[in-house]
Chains A and B, each alone.
Chain A
């Protein structure tokens, strides 16, 4: 299902169609390989992580990408996004193999100093028990180059 064709078209109040998937061991390891993260508990079961492989909390950022891919099939739009702020809160470790549901919404879209910002709020829960694992707030600039998007919309 499509929410908007492009990410850059998302509007404040838009609610993403949730994504349900199984967080595989492969996905956790591959994401960690990509940022040279070698903490053992992200690559396999360890005593420190309770005998299971767990997700790195920064995988919350991938939940945003996953929601974009499913809800905005046209991609970003004409300009590249610039990530401004990452804010994740963990409520329980996520073991590899857990079936998850990721939901989210566009909490804010505003103009500040000529650039358009977008704040996304996301929750990651167990698909089976509804246990809350992660809350994530992500702020991006929708285009690095300044635009003339209506500055009267600014509330920052």
Chain B
């Protein structure tokens, strides 16, 4: 069997800045991916890209789409577990605090259980994204990945 992580082991990415440009790029990429017609799309103003629109919706400023921090957590799992996460894993995230422009974000996974079975093991983790430098959680959840025999 591939080497199993120990309970309590923590994985972490480097810090990233949630720039205004990234927030907008995500909106455009989402539209492009959803339309799936092979052309690039520019998204209409959203709470992630337009101050005016965000204010009109009762928000103090634009906020990042929660899927950006989810994608960063997902990428951490893909790097660590490969197809054991991409094809046989799970990810559940809940967005408990908005991420605002220029906030610095780190992403984490901590192993909470390792369950061995006939074909390998299932690794269960707590996952989260945090606002740095104080580590305030903004996205929290759980994930699983399979480690083959």
Contact = CB atoms under 8 A, between A and B. Distances in A.
B114 interface: no
Contacts of B66: 83-84, 86
B34 A65 contact: yes
A128 interface: no
Contact of A93 (B28, B35, B72, B83): B83
Give chain B's interface secondary structure class. Answer: helix
Contacts of B67: 35, 58, 61, 83, 86
Chain A interface helix/strand/loop/mixed: mixed
A56 B87 contact: no
Given A27-B36, A87-B92, A49 B86 contact: yes
A83 B82 contact: no
Contacts of B90: 87-90
Contacts of A21: 36
Interface residues of A, number: 49
Contacts of A83: 65-67, 95
Interface residues of B, number: 46
Interface string A65-84: 11001000000000110111
B83 A79 contact: no
Interface in B79-125: 79, 82-83, 85-95
Contact of A56 (B22, B74, B88): B74
Interface in A36-65: 36-39, 41-42, 48-50, 54-59, 61-62, 65
Contacts of B141: 86
Nearest to B59: A144
B68 interface: yes
Interface of B: 16, 22, 25-30, 32-36, 38, 40, 46-47, 53, 57-59, 65-68, 70-72, 74-75, 78-79, 82-83, 85-95, 141
6 contacts: A23-B36, A30-B32, A37-B74, A56-B74, A86-B67, A87-B90
Interface of A: 21-24, 26-27, 30-39, 41-42, 48-50, 54-59, 61-62, 65-66, 69, 79-80, 82-93, 143-145
